[in-house]
Amino acid sequence: MGKLELKTGVEFIKGVGPSRAELLQQELGIFTVSDLIHSYPFRYVDKTEITLIKDIKEDGQNVQCYLEIIRLEKVKGKRQARLSVMSKDASGFLELVWFKGVNWILKYLVEGGNYLVYGKVSIFKGKKTIVHPEMERIENQESIKKKVSLSPVYSSTEKLNARKLDSKAQSKIIEQALSSLSAKAIPETLPDYLIKKLRLVAKKTALINIHKPKTTEDLEQAKKRLKFEEIFFMQLRLLYNKELRKKKLISFPFEKVGEHFHNFYKNNLGFELTNAQKRVLKEIRKDLSQNTQMNRLLQGDVGSGKTIVAVMSMLLAIDNGYQTCLMAPTEILAQQHYSGITEICAGLGIQIAFLSGSIKGNKRKEILKLLKQGDIHILIGTHALIEPTVEFKKLGLAIIDEQHRFGVMQRYRLWKKNEDHPPHILVMTATPIPRTLALTLYGDLDVSVIDEMPPGRKDIQTIHRRETHRAQVIEFMHKEIEKGRQIYIVFPLIEESETLDLNNLMSGYDELRIFFPPPKFQISVVHGRMKPKDKEMEMNRFASNKAHIMVATTVIEVGVNVPNASVMIVENTERFGLSQLHQLRGRVGRGAEQSYCILMTGVKLSKEGRKRVETMVETNDGFKIAEVDLKMRGAGNIEGTQQSGTIQFNLFNIVADNAMVAPTRNIAIKVLESDPELGHIDNAMLLQELKRQLKRHEDLGRVS
């Protein structure tokens, strides 16, 4: 076969073939030459320096030496022979030892020969030894300069290692691929003016040097170029789509603020909005008055008042003659939205309906009929709202709560409910997202943040208690129940150990019954294996104050609003992520009374576990917690980001490289401001690469 191209199948690279190619596909997702050369090393072994034997001071130090072999000796042992090789440089002596492949190594090594040797040194009683070193014969000392480098280390698996496709073999294949590429196989993707302004190396140079850097400077320049490209094109893609959506997607302008909105504000609200709520409402009102589709993310901490903002946005739609809907991820949360919104909209003459999978028969038919006729103003429900049978007469605004729990396609189906014009979209999340991550995940949405809590709301007191304090915690629970309060106790639930966790929860429940015996005390139990009907019954028992304690797994993380519950006890806190702990804590503190969150752990805590507990005790600010969480876990683990389809970087790291996000986004903004269509000849390669990426991403990102 001739020269390789980027889209050439990996099996056509010399030394790969069909069976090894299949393994690379299965284990690493490498199908083409492009996939292979964009699969970067995750670390490098520094072989840029030659160390003299006299300068080796530390046991366990990795060194590279230029040595002459002075003696080869095969030493017999009880089970197997070992090879002992004495070598030297101008400063001292070093023993090289092999326990495996002795006969093969003997054929390779020559007394009096000079070798470049690399390995980990062990020092015992002053004697320096390297076991199973890497060896390369180099007779001419001048040619060492060409050999020393930073050696790449690639991801591997047991299957790959077994088939001799370990890191070293992958390195050789990549080297082979790069040397076999046609002259124009790696096109430049950035315009000359950006490369000069930012002092970036060429794309081809960066790809060669990321795999085979001669110096640390080469490596840093390659990383700088490739990281910039990854984050720049992602930002360009998001911003380009955002502008495209604004031009293409004509929505309904809500031109007036009418009587429903005014009546609600005057008669139903009953308290003063926070400045943050007012600011966010102003942003939403401005969007809704345009005839381009609103696509806004509303983020606010638990209890910051997002629902009121959502309701007032709905009233704007109704005042302009449109229907609106709110979709929530669970039936419990949707039902609570329905109850709460029905209550605060009483007397406004608005028809509100609830729809979920559990509503069937004539009741369902009636709701669907009234909806199609336009007699229902607000429809609240679960993903049942996106079913094809659900038809609106005139949907003007769709609100999605806890948006990370819906897949992109589910949101898209809601978005398509209007054939002629898409509804305005408001997506809400109670998971505070650090600015860097928000720009990366939601760069094509306009973001509003409610960063202020309603006045008079008491901070939840968070306390760390170890198992040794269990008696005091039980005593405290009794005192709170005597005051008429209710208590949550949450146990972890990790899928791999579901049975174990269920046993843990049930034994915890049995133990509680000793300290809180029935019938005086009532305990509700809720976990994932229960039938939805039983789960709902138990939750309602707690919500209606018929149970004093609710023992649950994290099914209550989102969607239970019981103002009378003042204590949240989290068992095995060390097994929860920070954002999850913050969400759980937000289940209390919803009433006027002082609320508490007690974090129970074992006596011993890992460094990460201690950091999580300390963070929770120190602050109630969800955005600060999210920042710590992002630093601790990285973006890939933040709930919901995997399904976003946005965080797919080979080299760029949202945590380590977060300082690059805002400046790079500003560069992308300036490029599009000066050339919105990227039609200028200087931006021809930008447009080409952007189109290639848009095709690959099948852009649904614009659907929130």
List of domains in the chain: 1-48+154-183 (1.10.150), 62-147 (2.40.50.140), 259-450 (3.40.50.300), 461-619 (3.40.50.300)
**Type of residue at 397:** L
Residue 89: phi, psi to the nearest 5? Answer: -130, -170
pLDDT score for 346: 92
Distance CA 561, CA 540 (A): 11
3-state secondary structure of 386: helix
Residues with Cβ < 8 Å from 616, sequence gap 6 or more? 462, 464, 578, 581, 582, 585, 597, 599, 625
Angle between helices 607-618 and 578-585 (to 10 degrees): 30
- 637 pLDDT higher than 50: no
pLDDT score for 319: 95
pLDDT score for 406: 61
Distance CA 103, CA 609 (A): 50
pLDDT score for 647: 57
Distance CA 19, CA 585 (A): 52
pLDDT score for 279: 96
- 644 pLDDT higher than 50: no
- 338 pLDDT higher than 60: yes
Distance CA 62, CA 45 (A): 9
Q: Which residue has the higher pLDDT, 452 or 309?
A: 309
Distance CA 577, CA 494 (A): 12
pLDDT level of residue 160 (50, 70, 90 thresholds): confident
pLDDT level of residue 638 (50, 70, 90 thresholds): very low
- Per the listing, tokens 């200028």 go with 680
Q: Is residue 551 within 8 Å of 527, Cβ to Cβ?
A: no
pLDDT score for 230: 92
Would you state the structure tokens that stand for residue 378, as one six-digit string? 């607000």
The residue-averaged pLDDT of 480-508 equals 78
- Per the listing, tokens 């284990």 go with 27
pLDDT score for 559: 52
Distance CA 428, CA 398 (A): 11
pLDDT score for 97: 95
- Per the listing, tokens 């405290």 go with 476
Which of these, 538, 594, 537, lies nearest to 565 by C-alpha position?
594
Residues with Cβ < 8 Å from 541, sequence gap 6 or more? 522, 524, 547
Q: Is residue 69 within 8 Å of 110, Cβ to Cβ?
A: yes
Of 145-149, 338-342, 553-557, 566-570, the poorest mean pLDDT is in 553-557
pLDDT score for 701: 45
Residue-level length of the chain? 704
> Buried b / exposed e across 111-134, counting CB within 10 Å, b at 16+?
eeebbbbbbebeeeeeebbbeebe
Angle between helices 216-248 and 684-697 (to 10 degrees): 70
Distances (CA, A) of 627 to 211, 449, 611: 32, 15, 13
Q: Count the helix, strand and coil residues of the chain and give each as a percent rounded to the nearest 5.
A: 45, 20, 35
pLDDT level of residue 247 (50, 70, 90 thresholds): confident
pLDDT score for 403: 60
- Residue 55: strand pairing partners: none
Residue range 269-278, pLDDT digits in tens: 888 899 999 9
Burial (CB count <10 Å: 0-12, 13-18, 19+), residue 334: buried
Q: What is the pTM of this model?
A: 0.69
Of 112-126, 194-208, 409-423, the poorest mean pLDDT is in 409-423
The residue-averaged pLDDT of 520-537 equals 84
The residue-averaged pLDDT of 90-113 equals 91
Distance CA 154, CA 170 (A): 7
The residue-averaged pLDDT of 200-225 equals 94
Q: Is residue 318 within 8 Å of 350, Cβ to Cβ?
A: yes
Question: What is the per-residue DSSP string for 41-101?
Answer: -SEEEEES-PPPGGG--STT-EEEEEEEEEEEEEE--SSS-EEEEEEEETTEEEEEEESSS
Q: Which residue has the higher pLDDT, 413 or 356?
A: 356
Distance CA 204, CA 188 (A): 7
The residue-averaged pLDDT of 392-406 equals 82
The residue-averaged pLDDT of 640-661 equals 67
pLDDT score for 686: 93
Q: Is residue 295 within 8 Å of 444, Cβ to Cβ?
A: yes
The pLDDT mean for the chain works out to 86
- Residue 121: strand pairing partners: 130
User: C-alpha angle 134/137/141, rounded to 5°?
Assistant: 115
Distance CA 287, CA 71 (A): 82
Question: What is the per-residue DSSP string for 412-475?
Answer: HHHHTT-SSSPPEEEEEESS---HHHHHHHSTTSEEEEE--PPTTPPPPEEEEEEGGGHHHHHH
The residue-averaged pLDDT of 354-376 equals 93
pLDDT score for 112: 92
Which of these, 514, 598, 585, 584, lies nearest to 553 by C-alpha position?
584
Torsion 388-389-390-393 (CA) sign: positive
